[in-house]
Structure 1
C-alpha cells in the first residue's frame, strides 16, 4: 500500500515538474482564440493540451483585467524587489536634489549679501 502511494506521489511530482509553462502572450492568444468561437473551448483546450478549467480561469482574469483597465483602475501592487529598489533609489535622489537646491539657495544668498555690502 505504501509503495503504491509513493509511486503515485512520484508520478504527480514528475507531472508537476514537466507541466508546460505558458507565457502571458500564449495565454492571451489562447483566450482570444476561445473568444472568437471558431472552435469549441473543449477542442481548443485539447489542441493546446490545456485543462478547460485553466482556460476559463485565464479567460476570467483576462476579462477582469480589461474591465479594470477600461474603467481607469490601473493601480498596480508593487511587490517585486526591483520596484522596491527603484523606489528607494528615487527617494535617495530626491533627498540629494533637495540638499543641492538648499545649498544653491544659501550660496545665492551669500553672494547677493556680499554684493550688497560692496555697494
Structure 2
C-alpha cells in the first residue's frame, strides 16, 4: 500500500466546496464521496474565504503599496542628502587639518 497523497487541483477544490456552499450537501457526505478528511475540507474552506477577503481588499492593498513606494522614495532622497553632507564634512575636515 502506498502512502502517496492525492493532489486536487484548484478547480477540483472549488467544485467540492461549491457542493457544500451552494447545494447545501453535508460535509460528511462530500468527504465520503471524495475520500477526504473533514479537516482537509475545512482547511480548503478557510483558504477560500481568506483569498476572498484579499480580493475584496485589493483597493486597500494598492493604496498601501503606493504609500510604501512614496516612503521608499523619501528614504532614497534622505540617504542622498546625508551622503552629500558627510562627503562635504570629510572634505572640510581635510582642508582644515591641511591648513593648520
Scaled by the length of structure 2, the TM-score of the pair is: 0.54
- The structure 2 residue matched to 1:69, chosen from 34, 55, 73, is 55
**Residues in 1 aligned to 2:23 and 2:42: alpha-carbon distance in whole angstroms:** 14
2:37 aligns to what?
51
- The structure 1 residue matched to 2:19, chosen from 33, 49, 64, is 33
Root-mean-square deviation (CA, aligned residues, Å) is 1.9
Q: CA deviation at 1:32?
A: 1.5
Scaled by the length of structure 1, the TM-score of the pair is: 0.46
Q: How many residues align?
A: 61
Once the two structures are superposed, the pairs formed by residues 1-119 of structure 1 within 5 Å of their partners are 14-15=2-3, 17=4, 19-72=5-58
**Structure 1 moving runs of 4+ over 3 Å:** none
5+ unaligned residues in a row in structure 2: which ranges? 63-100
5+ unaligned residues in a row in structure 1: which ranges? 1-10, 76-119
